[in-house]
């Protein structure tokens, strides 16, 4: 019994690590997948799921040494650099790219320009299951369970939610699905660059150049592009770092008082970065029955994430507003927690 318990814990740890690697991969590459979707009409969910599967969450030899995220072999027409790798046979030729972006673009072109994938482009972008089975049928992979594995990745990480958004909404969607994330990791237009600033030189010795870091301004996102629809049917945004309630009110032509009422804020200063902010009243119950408490959660943030009124969250869990939920604890969003 003890051996079985230890084995179960061991497997659980492995699966948790795998899931974290995959989420990290999604955070790094979701913007590119959505960008390619709008250019080539390939579902972002399919691209991300293939990238996760083919690279083992970004850790495969092909990904690390050749920036090849989709296991694309050289084929006769390839004239670029290559790398040998054991796959269906020993020492097969695989394409090597200068960047991950090149790999994502070549993947899009690979599907779009080959006649045996042509029928896929008659499918809706939102039909990820048909795309997955179509890829397998067209011969993209030899694994008989390839389509089912892709679908499992998509549904496990809710990747299909990236199939219905614009590029500008990727950051907010990532925060919504997986929690806070460094914007510089997500948005290619938001990054740090280093410039050299020369110090005055004396006649007797030269002073080494000093490196200064400056931030490239991120691309402006229109207010409407930030708005997402919550599963409860209410529109909301994710609050940016340093953003105030009055700024949001002006941007969306709504009063501060209404925002406070809808989001159960006692003072404007209570607004927090990365929290959900609704533009209509929340509901008495969530869209699902349970919510598992995550690191950094408190009762208010749980209520906001799930679009449920605070008094209903308290009532359903038989607690008061002084209660401090623990990480991993199950909170009731529908029905009521049984009495002990």
> Angle 44-55/146-157 helices, nearest 10 degrees?
110
Q: What is the pLDDT of residue 340?
A: 78
Q: Which residues of 2-30 are buried (b: 16+ CB within 10 A; e: fewer)?
A: eeeeeeeeeeeeeeeeeeebbbebbbebb
Q: What is the pLDDT of residue 208?
A: 47
**Cα 73 to Cα 141: distance, rounded to the nearest angstrom:** 11
Q: What is the pLDDT of residue 248?
A: 92
**Cα 65 to Cα 71: distance, rounded to the nearest angstrom:** 12
pLDDT by position in tens, the chain (length 340): 555 444 444 444 344 556 788 999 999 999 999 999 988 999 999 999 999 999 999 889 999 999 999 999 998 888 899 999 888 788 899 999 999 999 999 999 999 988 889 999 999 989 999 999 999 999 998 899 999 999 999 999 999 999 998 888 899 999 999 888 888 778 776 644 333 333 444 444 444 444 444 444 444 556 777 888 888 888 899 998 889 999 999 988 899 999 999 999 999 999 998 899 999 999 999 988 999 998 889 999 999 999 999 999 999 999 999 999 999 999 999 999 998 7
Beta-strand relationship, 290-292 and 330-332? antiparallel
- Its pTM stands at 0.56
């Amino acid at each position: 019994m003890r051996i079985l318990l230890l084995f179960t814990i061991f497997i659980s740890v492995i699966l948790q690590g795998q899931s974290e690697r995959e989420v990290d991969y999604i955070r790094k590459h979701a913007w590119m997948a959505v960008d390619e979707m709008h250019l080539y009409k390939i579902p972002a969910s399919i691209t991300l799921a293939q990238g996760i599967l083919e690279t083992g969450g970004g850790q495969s030899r092909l990904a690390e040494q050749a920036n090849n995220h989709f296991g694309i072999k050289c084929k006769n027409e390839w004239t670029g650099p290559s790398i040998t790798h054991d796959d269906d046979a020993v020492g097969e030729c695989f394409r090597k790219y200068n960047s991950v972006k090149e790999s994502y673009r070549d993947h899009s072109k690979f599907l779009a320009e080959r006649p045996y994938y042509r029928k896929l482009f008659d499918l809706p972008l939102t039909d990820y299951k048909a795309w997955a089975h179509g890829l397998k049928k067209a011969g993209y992979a030899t694994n008989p369970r390839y389509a089912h594995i892709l679908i499992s990745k998509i549904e496990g990480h809710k990747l299909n939610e990236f199939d219905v958004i614009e590029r500008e909404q990727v950051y907010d969607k990532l925060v919504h699905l997986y929690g806070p994330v460094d914007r510089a990791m997500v948005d290619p237009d938001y990054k740090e660059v280093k410039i050299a600033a020369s110090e005055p030189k004396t006649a007797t010795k030269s002073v080494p150049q000093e490196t200064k870091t400056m931030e490239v301004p991120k691309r402006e996102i229109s207010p409407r592009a930030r708005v997402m629809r919550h599963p409860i049917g209410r529109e909301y945004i994710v609050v940016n770092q340093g953003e105030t309630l009055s700024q949001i009110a002006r941007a969306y032509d709504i009063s501060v008082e209404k925002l406070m009422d809808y989001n159960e804020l006692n003072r404007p200063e209570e607004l927090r970065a990365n929290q959900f902010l609704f533009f209509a009243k929340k509901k008495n119950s969530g869209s699902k029955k349970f919510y598992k408490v995550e690191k950094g959660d408190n009762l208010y943030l749980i209520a906001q994430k799930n679009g449920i009124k605070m008094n209903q969250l308290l009532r359903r869990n038989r607690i008061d507003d002084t209660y401090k939920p623990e990480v991993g604890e199950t909170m009731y969003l529908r029905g009521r927690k049984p009495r002990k």
